Structure 1
Amino acid sequence: MNGSVLRAPGMPLLLAMTALGFAGYAALLPVAPLWVVRGGADAAGAGLVNGVLMLFTVLTQLVVPGALRRLGWAPVLVAGMVLLGLPGIAHVLTDDLAPTLVLAAVRGLGFGVLTVTGSALVAELVEPARRGQAIGAYGLAIAGPQVLLVAGAPWIAERLGFGVVFALAGLPVLGVVPAIGLARMLHHVPEPQERAPYLRLLRPMLLLLGVTLAGGALITFMAQMSSSAPLTVLALLVMTTMAALTRWRVGLLADRYGPQRFIWPLVVNTAVGMTLIAWAVRDPEATSAPALLLGTAVVGASYGALQNLTLLVTFASVSRPHYGSASAVWNIGFDAGTGLGSVVVGMVAAATSFSAGMLAAGALALLTLPLALRRPSR
C-alpha cells in the first residue's frame, strides 16, 4: 500500500472513524437476524431485520448531502456515530421482532450518515490520481471489521453470548472522537451551481446494487443455510477476506489502467459464484463445503473489487460540489442491494429453499451485465 496515501491529512482519522463505525455495523449484520429467529421469527422475519436497516440507511443517505451543507461536518458526523452505536447495545433488551426492527431503523439513520460521509471524504482528502489507492485503504478500514465480525460474530454469539456481540455493536460511539478531529480539518461543503448529473451516476449505482444484493444475501443467511457452524464461520471469513483483498488491490490497477475493463468480468463472476453456492446448499442437512467455500471466494472477489471500481466511476462523473450527492447515490446502490438481497432471498427461501434464493440473487446480479458492457456516457 502507498504510505503517502495513508499520510494524507485527515486519512488516519477517517480510517479510525470508519473502522469503529463498520465494526458496530458488521457485528449485527449476521447476528441480529439470528437474534429474532431465537425469539420466534421465521426466515422472512429474519430477512426483514437487515431489510429495514438498509431501507432507513437509504432514506438517510438522500438527505445527508443537504445536511452537510446546512449544518457542517461536525454535527452530522457525531450524530451518525451515536445513532449507529447506541441502538446496537439496546438489542440486549429484547429478541422480539418488532422492537428489533425499530432498533434496525435507528441504526440505519446512523449508518446512512457514516457511509455517505466516509466515501465523500475519500474524494475530499485525496487527489484523483491516487484515489484508487485511497479507496483501497478506505475499503480495508471497512473490510477489516467485516472480516473479523461478519464471520466471527455468529460464533461469538453462540460461544460467548449475544451480549458480547451487542457490546461490540456499540463501538461506533467511540468513533465520535476521530469524527470531531476530522471535522475540525474540513472546509464547509460548497453549494453546487448546477444539478448533480444523476443519470451518469445511475450506471455505477446499479452495477453495485447487483453485486451487493448477492453479498447481502450471503451475509444474512449463511448461518441459516449452512449445516455446520464452523463452516459458516469459514465461508464468511473467505468471502470477507477476498472482498478486502480485491477492494484494496484493484485500486492500484484502476489507477494505472482505468476501472472500465475490469467491471464486466466481475459481474459474470458474481453469477458463477452464486450458482456454486446454490448447488452447495441444495441439501439443508449436508452442505457441500468445497463448493460453498469456492463460491464464497468467487463472490467475495467481485463484491470487493466492484465496490472500488464503481466508486471510482462515480466520482469521475462529478465535480467537487457534487461529491456528497455522488457518494449518496453510490451508497444507495450498496445498501439497497444489501437490503434487497436480505428481503428477496428471505422471501424466496421461505417459499421454496435457500438454494433457489441463491440462484435468484445470482440471476438478478447478471441482469446488470448490459450496463457493465456499455461505455459510460460523458
Structure 2
Amino acid sequence: MTERRPIWTKSFINISISTFFIFIVFYALLTFIPIYVLTDMEGTATQGGLAVSAFLISAIIMRFFAGLILEKYGKKKILVISVLMFTISTILYVFIGGFTALLFLRFFHGIWFGLVTTVAGAIAADIVPPERRGEGLGYYGIAMNLAIVAGPFIALTLQPFMAARSIFAVLGVIMAIGFFCALWVKVDETPIAAKEEKRKLGFNDFVEKKAVPIASVSFFASFAYASIISFISVYAASLGLIETASFFFVVYAVAMLLVRPFSGRLFDSVGPNIVIIPSLIMFAVGLFALSQTESAWMFLLSGALVGIGYGTLLPSFQTLAIQAADKHRSGYATGTFFALYDFGIAIGSISLGIIVAAFGYSNLYLILSVFVLCTVFYYMWIMKKQKTAAS
C-alpha cells in the first residue's frame, strides 16, 4: 500500500494564506468602493458600479493571457511579481484623489488580480499530490470562501470609525503579509522545452480547450451566485431582515467548512459526480428556500444550504478543469476556468437586475433555482460527452 503524500506542506500553507489575504482585499474593496465613491467622492451609484466593473473587466481579460505568461516566465517568478504589484496597487488607493484616477487604478488593480489568482491556483494544483487533488483544492478553496465573510466584515466594521485612507492603509498592510507568505512558496517548475522559432499566436495560447466544457458549467453556477453577491442585502432589507443579513455569509462559511473535508475525499475516492450533482441540487434548494423566506431562521437556513451547495462547487470545478488538461498546461486551464467563472459573476450582476425590476427578488431566486437544476442536466451531458470521447 502506497503512503498517502501530505497536503499541508509549508508551500501549500503559504500559498493558501497568501490567497486568503488577496481575496480579503478583493471582497473588502468590492464592498467598500461603492460606499467610498458615494460618500467621500460624492459620486453616483452608477459611478460606484463602474468602479467595480473596471476591476472585473481587466481581471477577465488578463485570465486569457495568464497561461502564456506563466509558460514563458515561470510560475514562481510571476507569483512574486503579481503579488507585489497587487500589494502596491492596494496601497495606491491611499493616494487617490479623483474618480478618474480611481477608475484607472481599479483597472490596473484588476490586471494583477487576474494574474495572481490564476498563478496561485495553478501552483496550488501543482503542490497537491495528484491523487489527493480534489481534497487539496477543496482546502485551498476555503481561503477564497472565508474571505467572502472576512473581507466585507473588515471593511464595514472599520468604516464608521476610520477614514477611507486609513482603511486602504490597513488593507495594504494585510497584503504586505500576503506578499511575505508568497515568497516562501516553493514551486517545482516543469522544464521548458527548447525555444521554437517565432510563430503566430493561436487560440491555444490563450485558452485551454479541454477545460472549456467544465468551465462553462462553472459559468452558469457563478451566474446564479451573482444574485447572492449583488442582491442578498437588499432582499433582506425588503423583508425587514437587515440585521440578519450580516450573518448570512457567516452561516454560509460555517456550513461550507463542515462539509469541505468530506466532499474533497469523496471527490478523490468515488469521483466528481457524487460531489457535484448533489451540490448543484443543494444550491438550487438554497435558492428556492430564499425565494420562500419570510423569517430570519429560514433566511439563515438558506445561507447554510447555499454554503453547502455552491461552496463545494468552485474547488470541484477547478479540479476537473485542471485534470482535463496536460500537466504543463495547468496555468492555461486555471486561467480559462477563472475567466468563465468571473464572466458569469459579471454578466449575472448586470443582467439579473432586469429580472428583479420585472419580477421582484423572491421570483428572481425562484427562477434561478430552476436554472441551477437545469445546470445539473447540462453538467451530466458534459461529463457523458467527455467520457465518450475518452473511450
Give the alignment's TM-score, normalised by structure 2.
0.81
Question: If you compute each CA radius of gyration, which structure gives the higher value, 1 or 2?
Answer: 2
Aligned-residue offset at 1:360: 5.3
Cα distance in 2, alignment partners of residues 340 and 132 from structure 1: 28
On the 8 A contact 2:87/2:179 being kept in 1, the answer is no
On the 8 A contact 1:245/1:304 being kept in 2, the answer is no
Aligned-residue offset at 1:313: 1.4
Match of 1:207 among 217, 224, 228: 217
Which residue pairs with 2:319 in the alignment? 312
**Stretch of structure 1 that moved more, 172-181 or 20-29:** 172-181
Cα deviation 1:273-298 (Å, max 9, x = unaligned)? 22332444xxxxxx742332122221
Which residue pairs with 1:178 in the alignment? 181
Closer/same/farther in 2, CA of residues 260 and 58 from structure 1, 3 Å limit: same
Which residue pairs with 2:119 in the alignment? 117
Which residue pairs with 2:283 in the alignment? 270
Aligned-residue offset at 1:325: 0.9
On the 8 A contact 1:53/1:104 being kept in 2, the answer is yes
Q: For this pair of structures, how many residues does the alignment match?
A: 368
Cα distance in 2, alignment partners of residues 101 and 256 from structure 1: 47
Secondary structure of the structure 1 residue equivalent to 2:185: helix
Closer/same/farther in 2, CA of residues 101 and 155 from structure 1, 3 Å limit: same
Cα distance in 1, alignment partners of residues 88 and 353 from structure 2: 27
The residue correspondences of 1:55-70 to structure 2 (distance < 5 A) are: 55-70=57-72
Residue 31 of structure 2 is aligned to residue 30 of structure 1: yes
On the 8 A contact 1:139/1:244 being kept in 2, the answer is no
Which residue pairs with 1:283 in the alignment? none
Residue 109 of structure 2 is aligned to residue 130 of structure 1: no
Report the RMSD for the aligned CA atoms in angstroms: 3.3
Cα distance in 2, alignment partners of residues 133 and 66 from structure 1: 27
On the 8 A contact 2:259/2:308 being kept in 1, the answer is yes
Cα distance in 1, alignment partners of residues 296 and 229 from structure 2: 17
Cα distance in 2, alignment partners of residues 96 and 217 from structure 1: 30
Which residue pairs with 1:329 in the alignment? 336
The residue correspondences of 1:228-307 to structure 2 (distance < 5 A) are: 229-280=242-293, 288-307=295-314
Closer/same/farther in 2, CA of residues 288 and 358 from structure 1, 3 Å limit: same
Cα distance in 1, alignment partners of residues 72 and 210 from structure 2: 26
Identical-residue share of aligned pairs (%): 21
Aligned-residue offset at 1:235: 1.0
On the 8 A contact 2:148/2:249 being kept in 1, the answer is no
**Stretch of structure 1 that moved more, 138-147 or 250-259:** 138-147
On the 8 A contact 2:23/2:151 being kept in 1, the answer is no
Cα distance in 2, alignment partners of residues 49 and 354 from structure 1: 25
Match of 1:80 among 63, 68, 82: 82
Aligned-residue offset at 1:251: 0.8
Look up the equivalent residue of 1:113 and give its one-letter code. Answer: L
Which residue pairs with 1:19 in the alignment? 20
**Which ranges of structure 2 fall in alignment gaps of 5 or more residues?**
197-201
Aligned-residue offset at 1:326: 0.9
Cα distance in 2, alignment partners of residues 157 and 200 from structure 1: 44
Give the alignment's TM-score, normalised by structure 1.
0.83
The residue correspondences of 1:331-346 to structure 2 (distance < 5 A) are: 331-346=338-353
Secondary structure of the structure 1 residue equivalent to 2:44: coil
Secondary structure of the structure 2 residue equivalent to 1:4: coil
Cα distance in 1, alignment partners of residues 308 and 134 from structure 2: 17
Secondary structure of the structure 2 residue equivalent to 1:30: helix
Cα deviation 1:173-202 (Å, max 9, x = unaligned)? 43222323326x432564599959944322
Which residue pairs with 2:11 in the alignment? 10
On the 8 A contact 2:17/2:181 being kept in 1, the answer is yes
Look up the equivalent residue of 2:184 and give its one-letter code. Answer: G
Closer/same/farther in 2, CA of residues 52 and 265 from structure 1, 3 Å limit: farther
Aligned-residue offset at 1:153: 3.1
